[in-house]
Amino acid sequence: MTKSQVGSPQERPSAVTIRAPAKINLILRILDRRSDGYHNLWSIMQTVGLEDELFIRLAPPTGGIRLTCNAETLAVDQSNLVYKAASAVLDRMQQSVGLDIELRKRIPMGAGLGGGSSDAAATILGLNHLLQVGWSRDQMAEVGQPLGSDVPFFLFSPSAVVAGRGEAVKPMTIEGRRWVLLIKPGFGVETKWAYQELAAMREAVRPLSAGHAELDQRKVIRWPQLATLAENDFEAPVFARHGILREIKQTLRAQGAEFALLSGSGATVFGLFHEEAAARRAQTQFERDKQLQVFVVSTCSGPLAVSLGATV
């Protein structure tokens, strides 16, 4: 397969493959509630090498959109974010094409890892290429934003400051690479519930700290700076309900993680390690508990990319 980045001129392919990475929130502050019911947030997000895979093939127009998926618990009908993203692109293009889409899930669901949003972003990116739409990343983000708050980020990944409802994305560089140990318990956390709990338990919205405001202006950040500024507002309400997640965080720190944090609204807790060997040693500790899904991956250094052809 040949690989190409967004926007490079190619002959019209008949199929594309896109890898859709998970994300972690290195910082996540939830600010005021807006008049549309959503919250303004401020986050530093980073993609990591735990990936779903999407194969999209052109098919006869009569077939419409046909989606298949290896995860039995995930509906493949019009409620699926991949289906919604493909519909949104076709509606705007007014193109009469059929699509066969195969989604291979690896990213756990209800995990705070942005898997559904990443799949939606990958679908838009893949179709932009397959159908030679010629949208910029901003235009793709605009199409994806109504589908989920994290969709725009993935179109500007691997690292970005994200604000507003999630639509204000400023790409930046985090120098160097880290190993990430992801621990997903046997349950998920519903994002809407986490927002409600947070709103119910806090008395006032804390403004952005001076340290975070300073990071907001930076184009390049170093990992040690993040270690001192990492925090997630969802930890208070989510840890209050699921004490096991606080214990996982403490164990990650005890195992030598530079820092450990809940990702998104959970339920995944991750630890950041300088060395792969240290992350693998910690992994073996957690793998004794069969309730947990455990992954060691590295932080991504490049954007979402489209490969021509389908690997299946």
Considering the complex, what minimum distance in angstroms separates the CB of residue 194 from ligand C5P? Answer: 8
Considering the complex, what minimum distance in angstroms separates the CB of residue 170 from ligand C5P? Answer: 16
Q: Residue 140 to residues 25, 122, 144: CA-CA distances in angstroms?
A: 22, 10, 6
| CB nearer ligand C5P, residue 147 or residue 282 | 147
Note whether 266 binds ligand C5P by CB under 6 A.
Answer: no
CA distance 98 to 100: 7
24 to 63: interface string for ligand C5P, x by CB under 6 A = --------------xx-x----------------------
- Which span sits near ligand C5P by CB under 6 A: 190-198, 225-233, 240-248, 276-284? 190-198
| CB nearer ligand C5P, residue 13 or residue 237 | 237
- Please give the size of the binding site for ligand C5P, defined by CB under 6 A: 10
Note whether 144 binds ligand C5P by CB under 6 A.
Answer: no
Considering the complex, what minimum distance in angstroms separates the CB of residue 65 from ligand C5P? Answer: 21
- Interhelix angle for 243-254 vs 276-287, to 10°? 140
Query: 214: closest CA among 153, 177, 161, 157?
Result: 161
Considering the complex, what minimum distance in angstroms separates the CB of residue 3 from ligand C5P? Answer: 29
Note whether 219 binds ligand C5P by CB under 6 A.
Answer: no
Note whether 178 binds ligand C5P by CB under 6 A.
Answer: no
Note whether 106 binds ligand C5P by CB under 6 A.
Answer: no
CA distance 227 to 252: 14
249 is catalytic: no
The binder of ligand C5P chosen from 72, 79, 94, 192 (CB under 6 A): 192
Helices (H) and strands (E) in the chain, counts: 10, 14
149 to 168: interface string for ligand C5P, x by CB under 6 A = x---------------xx--
Q: Are strands 220-222 and 173-175 parallel, antiparallel or unpaired?
A: parallel
CA distance 179 to 296: 7
Considering the complex, what minimum distance in angstroms separates the CB of residue 192 from ligand C5P? Answer: 4
CA distance 51 to 31: 30
Containing 87, the helix (H) or strand (E) segment is helix 81-93
Active-site position among 52, 150, 184, 249: 150
Query: 46: closest CA among 114, 142, 119, 110?
Result: 114
Containing 248, the helix (H) or strand (E) segment is helix 243-254
Please report where in the chains the tokens 């692109």 appear, as a residue: 89
CA distance 308 to 232: 38
The binder of ligand C5P chosen from 42, 195, 234, 273 (CB under 6 A): 195
Considering the complex, what minimum distance in angstroms separates the CB of residue 32 from ligand C5P? Answer: 10
CA distance 138 to 125: 11
- Which span sits near ligand C5P by CB under 6 A: 187-195, 228-236, 238-246, 247-255? 187-195
Instruction: Take residue 108 and report the two structure tokens written for it.
Output: 């756990």
23 is catalytic: yes
- The CB density around residue 231, as the number of other CB atoms within 10 Å, is 16
Residues serving a catalytic function are 23, 150
Query: Which positions touch ligand C5P (CB under 6 A)?
Result: 38-39, 41, 148-149, 165-166, 191-192, 195
